[in-house]
Amino acid sequence: MNATKPMPFQGLKESELQAVSARAVTRAYARNAVVVTEGDRSDSLYIILSGRVKFFVSDEQGKEIVLSEAGPGEYFGEISLDEGPRSASVMTLEPTRFSIVPHEDFRDFLAHSPEFAFSLIGKLIHRVRSLTENVKSLALMDVYGRVARMLLELATERDGVLAIEEKPTQQDLANRVGASREMISKILKDLEAGGYIRVEPRRIVIAKNLPRGW
């Protein structure tokens, strides 16, 4: 079974990391720490040295939608170039270290690094495409369709087995597709009963092609 997976954001090369981090500050955050909050002023680029983060938006009632995740070598905060507010919140999923580059230093680095500037443009184009697909999914797909799409996006094939190796919680999946945890639980149980997936202690195995509708 072949799954269509989104192209990962491009990380920094070692030489680029050293150049852009010349005047950066290194900071460490514990697991589940909010690094930046949606609506805050944008003034820095954050480079992930170790650990992992998630990007999410939420409303006043605390309902959360997870946009994506990122790990070592990846970065966020490039929207700080327009000095507008943060478009999403960022939370650590595990202990994480960052190299934090001030806005002016980031602009100077871009001005003297055309190769990286083109890489950044590619990343932003990918982000627009990804967000467009997410909006399309939320607007045109039912909950099952969104869950099926998410399972395939999270799965990787290894030794002929398609599986989500780091099993997300039902609440994680609910936050990603904009549904209730109870609905996710029902869909997963139905898929497991139909032999489409196997929910194991540490992973979810996709055993056969997921149905187009439910």
pLDDT value for 118: 85
Domain that holds residue 150: 142-206
Tell me, what CATH number does 76's domain have? 2.60.120.10
CA-wise closest residue to 199 among 212, 152, 191:
191
Tell which of 70, 95, 110 closes a domain: 110
Per the CB < 8 A criterion, the answer to whether 47 and 21 are in contact is: yes
pLDDT at 68 over 80: yes
148-176 confidence digits (pLDDT tens): 988 998 999 999 999 999 898 999 899 88
Residues 22, 100 share a domain: yes
Residues 200, 160 share a domain: yes
Per the CB < 8 A criterion, the answer to whether 43 and 80 are in contact is: yes
* Domain count for the chain: 2
| Percent of the chain with pLDDT strictly greater than 90 | 40
pLDDT at 7 over 70: no
- The whole-model pTM stands at 0.64
Residues 163, 80 share a domain: no
pLDDT value for 9: 42
161-214 confidence digits (pLDDT tens): 999 998 989 998 998 888 899 999 999 999 999 999 999 999 999 999 999 888
Residues 18, 106 share a domain: yes
Distance CA 172, CA 209 (A): 23
10-30 confidence digits (pLDDT tens): 556 777 767 777 778 999 999
pLDDT value for 37: 92
pLDDT value for 140: 61
pLDDT value for 89: 93
User: pLDDT band at 52, cuts 50/70/90?
Assistant: very high
Distance CA 100, CA 125 (A): 23
- H helices, E strands: number in the chain: 6, 12
CA-wise closest residue to 38 among 55, 54, 51, 53:
55
Residues 18, 96 share a domain: yes
Dihedral (Cα; 104, 106, 110, 112), 10-degree rounding: 70
Tell which of 88, 110, 132 closes a domain: 110
Q: Is 52 exposed, middle or buried (0-12, 13-18, 19+ CB in 10 A)?
A: middle
* Within-domain flag for 52: yes
Tell me, what CATH number does 181's domain have? 1.10.10.10
Mean pLDDT for 33-50 is 90
